Copies of this chain bind each other. A is one copy, B any other.
C-alpha cells in the first residue's frame, strides 16, 4: 500500500539528539539555558523532596545574573559545605581504592584533597607548610613548589613557565575532560520516589 499521502508534514520533527558541546548559536544557547536551568532546578527540588536532603544550586547566566535554588537556603548550605570541606584533609590518608567503577569517587577524592590543600592557604596562609608536609605524594609537593616558585620568577621566566604550563594544562584538560565525560555517561538505574512540598526558593527583586 505505500500510500502516497505524504500530503502533510509533521509540524515538528520533535527533539533531536545533540552533542554535549558549547552551543555556538547565541540565540539557541540562550534558549537552551532557560529551559535547562528550569529543568535543573526542578531536579534539585525533586531530589531534596524525594530523599529529604538539603540541596543548593547556583547558576550564573552568561549575562552575569545569578539564579539559585536552596533548601533550606543557599547561604546556609554553602556555609555548611565550607565547614565540611575544611575538615576534609584528614580523610586524605584513606586513598587506596581506585577502581574503574570507583574512578569517579577516587578521582573526586583526590581532587578535593588537592583543592583543600590549595584553598587552605587562602584561609590560613600560616598553615601552608604544615599541610603541604602532610602530603606524601611527590606530585602534590611539586605542585605546591611550583606555585611558590612562580612568585620569585623574573618576567622572562614567568612567561616561559606560563607558556609551558598552558601546553601541559591543555593536554591534561583534554584528557581529564574526556575521562570525566565517560564517568558521567555511566549510570542509569531506578530509585524510588515520593513527593513533598516545594522547598524554599529565593525570588529576585524584579519579581
Contact = CB atoms under 8 A, between A and B. Distances in A.
Question: How many copies of this chain are found per oligomer?
Answer: 2
> Interface range on chain A: under 10, 10 to 19, 20 to 34, or 35 or more?
35 or more
A80 B66 contact: yes
Given A110-B159, A151-B171, A205 B140 contact: no
A130 B38 CA distance: 35
Contacts of A78: 58, 74, 78, 81-82
A11 to B, nearest CB: 14
A184 interface: yes
A4 interface: no
Interface string A109-129: 111111100110111111111
Given A67-B107, A104-B198, A195-B22, A148 B132 contact: yes
Contacts of A51: 22-23, 29-30, 32-33, 36, 62
28 contacts: A20-B50, A29-B194, A35-B188, A36-B47, A36-B50, A38-B187, A44-B57, A51-B62, A53-B61, A65-B84, A67-B108, A68-B108, A73-B115, A92-B204, A95-B205, A96-B207, A105-B202, A107-B203, A108-B207, A109-B205, A118-B167, A121-B130, A122-B127, A128-B147, A128-B151, A142-B146, A143-B161, A169-B169
Given A95-B205, A104-B203, A131-B144, 13 more contacts: A22-B50, A55-B58, A96-B203, A99-B207, A112-B202, A115-B202, A121-B127, A122-B124, A122-B127, A132-B150, A150-B172, A151-B171, A165-B168
